[in-house]
Amino acid sequence: FRGIRDELLDVLARKQRRERQLHEDVKQDETEAIRLQADLERTTDDLNEKVAERERLEEIVAGKLKAHGNFQQLSKQALIAEQELQRNEERIAEIKQEASEKLPAYENNRMFRYLYDRGFGTPEYKKKGLTRTLDRWVAKFVKFNRSRRGYDFLRVTPELMAAEVLRRREQFNVLMEQIEAIDDEISDEIGLTEVLRKGQELGTQRDNLVAELAQLEQKFTQHQQELLSLEGTQNEFYEQGVGQMKSFLAEMEHSWLEQQSRSTPERQDDELVAEIGWVNKQLDDAQRQSSKLMQEQRDWDERSQGLQDVVQRFRRADFDSRRSFFSDDFDVERLLSDYLRGETGREEMWSVLRRYQQFRQTRYNQGGWDQRGRSVDDSWGMDNLGGVLGRVLIEVAGEAMKHAVRRGMQRRGPFRSQSRQRSGRPDFGGGWFTQGRGF
C-alpha cells in the first residue's frame, strides 16, 4: 500500500495548493470588486449631478434661442428649404426609377436608334435623296418625334434635377450652419458646452467601470465554481485519486486480500482489508447518490449566473440612474421568488424589468414626455436631434414641421459632428452621456 499511498498524498497536496491559490484569487476579486463598485457609485453620483446641470442649462439655451429674432427667421427658412429639398429628392427618385424602366425599350428599338444616332430631325442630319425619303418613312412608322422627346426627357431630366437637388441642399446647409452657429454661441456662453464635455467624460468612465465590473464578476464566478467543484467529486484531483485507487484495487481480488490477512497474525491487516471493502461499497453508493445533488448544484449555479447577467444588463441600460423608475404595479419580490424557484428564466426576468422600467424625461430630452414627467413613445424618433436644438426648432416652426425637423437634423448630423470636432466641442452622441439612455 505504500506506493498508492504516496500517489494519493501527492494528488491531495496538489489539490490543496490549488485551493489555496483559488482562495487568494477570490479574496483579490472581492477586494477589486469593492474598489470598482465604489468607483462606479461615485461616478454615477457625479453623472447624475451633471445630468441635472445639463437639463437646467438646456432650459436656458432653449429660452435664449426662442427669443433670438434671427434664429426664428433662419429656422423657418431652413425648414422650408428642407421640405423643398425633400420633394426634389422624391421626384428625382421617381424619375430615375421611370428612366430605368423605360429607357431600355428605346435603346433596344433598332429603328429608333438608327434615326437617333444619325441625328434625324436635327441640324446635324445631312442625308438626302432616297435615304432621306426612307428615313422619313421609318420616322413616321416609329413615331420618332414623340419618341425622341420622351427619350431625351428620361435621359436628361435626372441629371438636371440632380443639379437642382445639389443647389437646394447647399442652400439648406448654409441656413443650418447659421442656425447651429447661434446654438453653439449660446451654449458656450452659458456653459452648456463644458457640461456636455464633462458629462461625456464621466459617461465614458461609467461605461468602462460597468464593463470592468462585469468582467470581474465573471472571473469571480469562475473561481467560486472551481472551488465548489474541488469540494465535491467533479474535479480533476478527485478523478485522479479515485482512478488510481480503483486501478490499485482492481489488481487484487478482495477475497485474496482476506485470505492474506488471515494468514498473518497482525489484526491491522484484517482491519485494513475490511476498510477497503467498506470503501468500495461507499464509492459505489456515493456515485449513485451524487447525481441528484450535482444536478441541484448546477441548477443553482445557473440561476446565480443568470441573476448576475441581469444585474449587468441593468447597469448597462442605466436602470440605476436617478431618472430611472419602475411602475407602481411592479412586484420585484414576486419576480425574484419566481426566478429562484426556477419558474422564470433570466430572459423573461429581464423582459419584465424592461417592461416596467421607465425614464423620467425633461422637456428637452430626446424622447417625449407626459404631464408626470414620464417617457412616452415617440414613434418618429428624435435620437439625432443633437441636443436641445431640434426640440426648439419644432416649437418655433410648429408641430406640423416636426418631420422636416427630424429629416433636417439627420441630414446635418454627420456634418455637425465633424464641425464640432474641428472646433473642439463635444459631440452629441445621440444626446446621452453613456451607451444607455439614463444619463
pLDDT in tens, 59-68: 999 999 999 9
pLDDT tens sequence across 206-255? 999 999 999 999 999 899 888 888 877 677 887 777 777 777 766 655 55
pLDDT tens sequence across 2-16? 667 888 888 888 888
Asked whether the whole model's pTM tops 0.85, one would answer no
Residue 325: what are its φ and ψ, rounded to 5°?
Answer: -150, 165
CA angle 104, 110, 111 (to 5 degrees): 120
**Helix-helix angle 144-190:389-397, to 10 degrees:** 120
> How far is CA 196 from each of CA 58, 155, 192, 340, rounded to the nearest angstrom?
11, 50, 6, 42
Residue 214: what are its φ and ψ, rounded to 5°?
Answer: -65, -40
pLDDT at 378: 46
How many whole angstroms separate alpha carbon 25 and alpha carbon 18? Answer: 10
- Tell me if 392 sits within 8 A of 78, measured CB to CB: no
Cell of 355: 417592461
pLDDT tens sequence across 155-199? 999 999 999 999 999 999 999 999 999 999 999 999 999 999 999
Judged by average pLDDT, the poorest of 87-96, 222-231, 289-298 is: 289-298
Cell of 124: 446635324
How many whole angstroms separate alpha carbon 239 and alpha carbon 234? Answer: 8
Band the pLDDT of 375: cuts 50, 70, 90.
very low
By CB neighbour count within 10 A (0-12 exposed, 13-18 middle, 19+ buried), where does 238 fall?
A: middle
Band the pLDDT of 376: cuts 50, 70, 90.
very low
pLDDT at 396: 87
Q: Which of 10-24, 66-80, 232-246, 354-368 has the highest mean pLDDT?
A: 66-80
Q: What's the whole-number average pLDDT of the chain?
A: 86
SS3 (DSSP) at 287: helix
SS3 (DSSP) at 376: strand
Band the pLDDT of 421: cuts 50, 70, 90.
confident
pLDDT at 35: 97
pLDDT at 187: 94
Q: Calculate mean pLDDT across residues 105-130.
A: 92
Answer whether residue 116 shows pLDDT above 50: yes
Residue type at 13 in one-letter notation: A
Kindly provide the b/e burial profile for residues 150-162, where b requires at least 16 CB atoms within 10 angstroms of the residue's own CB.
ebeebeebbeebe
DSSP 309-372: HHHHHHHHTTTTSTTEEE-TT--HHHHHHHHHTTSS-HHHHHHHHHHHEEEB--TTSSSEE-TT
How many whole angstroms separate alpha carbon 324 and alpha carbon 310? Answer: 16
Percent pLDDT > 70 in the chain is 83
Cβ neighbours, 10 Å, residue 97: 11
Answer whether residue 379 shows pLDDT above 80: no
